[in-house]
Structure 1
Amino acid sequence: MTAATATAPKGLESGAPRRGVLSKIVDRLGSGAVQVVMVVLGLFWLVPTLGLLVVSMRTTQVNNAEGWWTVFTKPAELTIQNYQNLLGSGFTASFWNTVLITVPTTVLVIGIAAMAGYAFAWMDFPGRDTAFLIVVGLLIVPIQIALIPVATLYGNAGIFGSIPGVVLFHVAFGLPFAIFLLRNFFVGIPASLLEAARMDGASEWKIFVSVVFPLGKPAIASLGIFQFLWVWNDMLIALVFADTANQPMTKYLQSQMRQFGSNVDILSSGAFLSLIVPLIMFFAFQRYFVQGMMAGSVK
C-alpha cells in the first residue's frame, strides 16, 4: 500500500461517491415518510388558495368580521352570490379578451420560436452565430424601456389600444427566451436521425415537422406553460396598450379596486376564476414540464 493510498479518506479509497446529508436523511426516514412530508407541504402550499376560495364565497360583512377559517364551523355562510354578481358585470368580456390575447400569443411564440430554434440548431447559413448572439442579448432587454417607443409606433400605425397590438408586443418580447430554450433542446437531438431523413429525400420542412417537432414536445410544452402564464397574468402591458373595451381580466380587476379593499368580494371571486384556466393548462402538460425545464442543461 502506497503512502497516498494510506492517507486517502475511507470514502475515496473504495471509489464510492460521497453522499449528501439529504440523501442520508431520506434513507433514515424511508420513502413513505418522505411522501407524507411532501403531501403535508403540498397541502400547506394550497392554504392561501383555499382561503381565497372561502373569501370569494362569503359576503363582505362576514369577511370583515371573521377570518376565513371560521367557515369550518359556519358552512352556512357560503354563497355563490359573489360569482353571480361578477359574471353579470364586465368581467365576462374581460375574460374573453384575456383568452383572445393569451392563446394567439402562445401559439405564435411557439410556432415562430420552434422554426427559428431548428434553424439555429441544424441549418447552416451566413451570420447564424451572430444572429443567435443577438437573440441571447435581447434576453436582458427590460420591457419598460420599450413601452414609450412602441406606444408611439402603435399610435402612428393605428393599433394602439387594440388586442392585436397587445399580442404583437407579447410575441416580440417572448421570442428571445423561447428561441433560446428550443434551440438548446433541438441541438441535443441525435444528428443521425436528421441525416437518415435527408438520405430518404425529406426536405428541411419535412424533417422539422416529422422529426424535430415531435421530439421537442417536452420543451415545447414547458415553453407553452411559461408563455401562457406570463401573458395570462400580465398587467403592465395591459395597462399601457389595452383600452377599456379590450382590457383583460388583470386590468379589469385593477380598475375595480377601491380604498381599503372594500370590494374584496369582487376581487377575491375574480382572482379565483382567473387562476382556474392556468391550473388546467399546467396539469394538462405537467408530465412534460420537468423534462422541458431541463432542456439544454447538460449541453
Structure 2
Amino acid sequence: MRSTWPFFGGVIVALHFFAVTVPILAIVAILLSLFDSLGPDEAVLGGGSSVLMRDEGGRVTLRMTNTTYAQLSVPVMGEPRPRRLLLRQSTDGGNDGNGRIRLDAWPVGMPVDLRRPPIYTIRTLGSAANVGDDGLFWTERDGRRSAWSLADGSWLFDTDLPLAGFAFEPEIRRVAALAVADEELWSRGAVGVITYAAPGRVLRRVLLVSINPLRGNALRATLTASRLVSYTEAAPGGRVIELPLAAGPVRIPVTASDLDIAHASVPAGLKLSPLRPWGE
C-alpha cells in the first residue's frame, strides 16, 4: 500500500501541471495565429489626380488636383549623413493659374513613421512648384520664385531674377538672389533685397536702400530689367557679385561664408544695409 501513494501523488502533480500549462499553450497558439494573419507591418499614403470642370450659368470653371511622391536624401546641418525623406507634393489650382500648394515630409525609416504626422508641412499659394536639383523646394507666384528648405520646411528667400550661382570649390556652392523690396520695407527706403545662400540655408541678407524716396520708386519699377552676375577678381575672397544699374554697378565682394559689405561699392545716393531676421 505504501508504494501506491507516490504513484497517485505523481498522477495528481501531472494533472495539475497539464491543467495549468495546456490553457497557456492554447492561448499562445491563438496569439501566434493572429500575428500570422496580420502579416508584415506596412503603411499606405493615399493621393491622386483629378480634374473638375463645372458650367455655372455659362461660366466654365476648371479645377485640377495633383498629388505626387518623391524620395530623396537631404543634407541636414549637424547630422553626419543626409536624411532620407519621403515628400508628398499636392497642388490644387484653377482657371486663374494660382492655387494651393502643399508639401509634406516624412522620414524614411519604418512603416510606423508614415502613420505619424509629417515632420513638417509647407503651405503656400502659387502657380507652380517643384523640387529642384539644388536641394530646395521652389514655388512660383506672379513671376516671383520662393525657395524653401527641404531640411525643415522653412522659407529661405524670394527672387525676381535668375540666380547667380557659383562655386569656390566643387563642394562649396553658393547662390545670390535679388528680389524687389516688398511694400513693408519701402518706409526704410529699400529698393531690393540681395540674399547670399548656401545649399539649404541663408548666409546673409542685405537691403539695397535709396536715400531719395522718388529715386527709390523709380529703381523698384525697373529693377527686374537688370540681372545679378558673378565673376572672379583680385578681391577679398576672389569673387564679386554685381548688379548693373543705370547709375552704376553695385559690387559686393563675397567669401565662402559671407558678403563683404565693408568693401562693397554702390552708386551715389544708394547704400547697403544688413537685413536682420525677425526677432534679432
Q: What TM-score do the two structures reach when normalised by structure 2?
A: 0.20
Q: Which of the pair is proportionally richer in strand?
A: 2
TM-score, normalization: structure 1?
Answer: 0.19
Structure of higher RCO (CA pairs closer than 8 Å, 6+ residues apart): 1
Q: Which has the higher helix share?
A: 1
